Amino acid sequence: MPVTVRVRAERASGEKRVAASPESVKKLVTAGAAVEIEAGAGEASLISDAAYRAAGAAIVPPGTAVASGVLLHVRPLTVDDVEALPSGAITVGMLDPFQNAAGVEAARDRGVTTFALDLLPRISRAQSMDVLSSQALLAGYRLVTLAADAFGRMFGMTMTAAGTLAPARVLVLGAGVAGLQAIATAKRLGGIVSANDVRAASADEVRSVGGTFIDLDLGTADAAGGYAKELAEDRARRQQELLAPHIAASDIVITTAAVPGRAAPRLVTAAMIAGMKPGSVLVDLAAETGGNIEGSVAGERRRVAVEGGAVTLIGARDIQSDLAPDASKLYAMNCANFTALLLKEGETVLDFDDELVAGSAITHDGRIVSERVAAALAPSTMVEESA
């Protein structure tokens, strides 16, 4: 019997993505799996049940019990999601394990094996499975289109017989995958784009996509795995002070700064916003994780008064879902490429000697097997035990 790979219709409101595409179904079928997709799962990503069927999937009614095998998902699993799975099931998707203690502990207790693609080691072999990159890339693009929509002026310099329109000055703070895509997109629209980041490699990366790197002479802050380290309080304050004149001179500020496992660094304060020109726009990708910009609220677009008028402050939420067909296409292939690692001749074979399998496994055999996650969740477990 080939292993069954089930793809669910996402339950979270506002979530339009799906973890399978016709191309990913073909890949899974070629790897020996029988693919089942809940009816209508691809609708918001413009993928019909007929297209899935033509690729080799069976369509099942939403909520049909998962018998065994592998579940592919987009949103982190909740306790209810886990409790609907049989013991021994395997799940592949984003798990947000550091913020989702309840889901992780439920999976452990249920004997479900969970793979968190958001914790996959970002080595070269993982590139085709890297959901953080595929989704951040779309987020970076969307941040700019949100800003352009709110800006109400053109980005590019335009000369006409009736006069010249000045180009928009765009500042991008945090130049990881999303930030670099934001720089490239704003540049393509004709903006004058500058950026700042704290990793040593970021100056060259910013220049490679056409941005001007703002060197604040703060020193670099690199951590393992290509990520940034949190800045100590005095350096973080100095960074804000040095950024203030750049923010005041910008028409558009886009923030994407993050430090894994920490709240997003605060880069823009209310006082800095107060110094901006009326009509300016700020968009904060980190609004859901603490906010790079003071006052940003995920999913809200607010007017903030400044001298002579107001600026628009947008807190991003679910913005990959705004581009669901593209986001699903990339996410689905990320999932299929990873799942193919778990399949040998149509059966699941979990090779924990493989760095990618071991590095993304969170729960297995009734235990939390990720040391990082176990360590991070330990205090909450202790609190529960002593309560």
Ligand X SMILES: NC(=O)c1ccc[n+]([C@@H]2O[C@H](COP(=O)([O-])OP(=O)(O)OC[C@H]3O[C@@H](n4cnc5c(N)ncnc54)[C@H](O)[C@@H]3O)[C@@H](O)[C@H]2O)c1
**Enzyme catalytic residues:** 122, 127, 130, 133, 227
Q: Which one of 101, 258, 343, 377 is in contact with ligand X (CB under 6 A)?
A: 258
Instruction: Select the span of 55-63, 105-113, 194-202, 319-327 touching ligand X (CB under 6 A).
Output: 194-202
120 binds ligand X (CB under 6 A): no
**In angstroms, how far is CA 340 from the centroid of its own chain?**
22
Instruction: Select the span of 97-105, 106-114, 176-184, 369-377 touching ligand X (CB under 6 A).
Output: 176-184
Q: Which one of 176, 211, 291, 359 is in contact with ligand X (CB under 6 A)?
A: 176
CB of 34 to ligand X, least distance (A): 31
CB of 196 to ligand X, least distance (A): 6
Residues 212/191, Cβ–Cβ less than 8 Å: no
196 binds ligand X (CB under 6 A): yes
356-380 core/surface letters (b: 16 or more CB in 10 A; e: else): bbebbbbbbeeebbbeebbebbeee
CB of 144 to ligand X, least distance (A): 16
Residues 221/234, Cβ–Cβ less than 8 Å: no
Angle at 16 between CA 26 and CA 127, to 5 degrees: 50
144 binds ligand X (CB under 6 A): no
Q: What Cα–Cα distance (Å) separates residue 191 from each residue in 155, 158, 293?
A: 5, 11, 21
CB of 333 to ligand X, least distance (A): 15
| Partners of 222 in beta bridges | 228
Q: Which one of 265, 291, 315, 359 is in contact with ligand X (CB under 6 A)?
A: 265
**Which of 143, 117, 147 has its CA nearest to residue 132?**
117
| Tokens of residue 67, six digits | 């018998």
Residues interacting with ligand X, by CB under 6 A? 122, 124, 126-127, 130, 132-133, 136, 173-179, 196-199, 202, 226-228, 231, 239, 256-260, 265, 267
